[in-house]
Homo-oligomer: A and B are copies of this chain.
Amino acid sequence: MQFMFKKRDNIKDVEEGKYLSPKFDENGLIPVVTTDFRTGELLMHGYMNDKALKKTIETKEAYYWSRSRKNIWHKGQVSGFIQKVKEIRIDDDQDSVWLSVDIGSGSSCHVGYRSCFYRSIPLGKIKDEEKLEIEFKETEKTFDPKKIYKDELNPTKL
């Protein structure tokens, strides 16, 4: 897979060069931020390995590495909510990826909400011994995960 990537041999080329030189972490993964190309809404945060990145570039559909299932994961394969990739960007030091995707009126979140980021953390002084309450910003689920996923493993790990 390394033939696709320029070796990370100097910082100037990584930051301002014209070749892709992604940095995969000690587990071979790179974090991925996925937004809705129409609204800019943040949909999810995930990971790719080199094979998932290659498949995403070539097929224009989002593939991730599932850390809970330990396999390459074609997003939407079970739910039908395929992410059509409109653009992929890489950041300054090439250690994270941004996918801008089209999911139409579909969803991104396995819990049933459109975005995985459906809860907000209140700002301001935290009192001693206070557990922080979070506020739901999406209140209606867009689908019923029990019907869609049936016996699939829940990817959330404690």
- The chain A residues found within 8 Å of chain B, CB to CB, are 3-6, 8-11, 14-16, 18-20, 31, 33, 35, 39-42, 44-45, 54, 57-58, 60, 85, 87-93, 96-98, 109-111, 113, 116-126, 128-137, 154-158
Tell me which of B57, B124, B131 contacts A20 (CB under 8 A). B131
Contact: A45 with B124, CB < 8 Å? Answer: no
| Whole-angstrom CA separation of A117 from B45 in the bound complex | 15
CB-CB under 8 A for A90 and B121, given A9-B158, A15-B111, A134-B20: yes
Contact of A42 with B123 in the complex, beta carbons under 8 Å: no
- Inside 8 A of A96's CB, which chain B residues have their CB? 45
Q: Give every chain B residue within 8 A of A125 (Cβ-Cβ).
A: 58
Q: Do the beta carbons of A156 and B14 come within 8 Å of each other?
A: yes
Instruction: Give the chain B neighbours of A130 by CB distance below 8 A.
Output: 3-4
Identical copies of this chain, number: 2
CA distance A111 to B97 in the complex (A): 17
Q: A90-B119, A91-B45 are in contact. Are A158 and B14 (CB under 8 A)?
A: yes
* A117 proximity list for chain B (CB < 8 A): 89-91, 98
From B11, B18, B123, contact of A156 by CB (8 A):
B11
Is B44's CB under 8 angstroms from A41's CB? Answer: no
Is A92's CB under 8 angstroms from B121's CB?
A: no
Q: Could you say which of B33, B54, B90, B129 contacts A33, with CB atoms under 8 Å apart?
A: B33
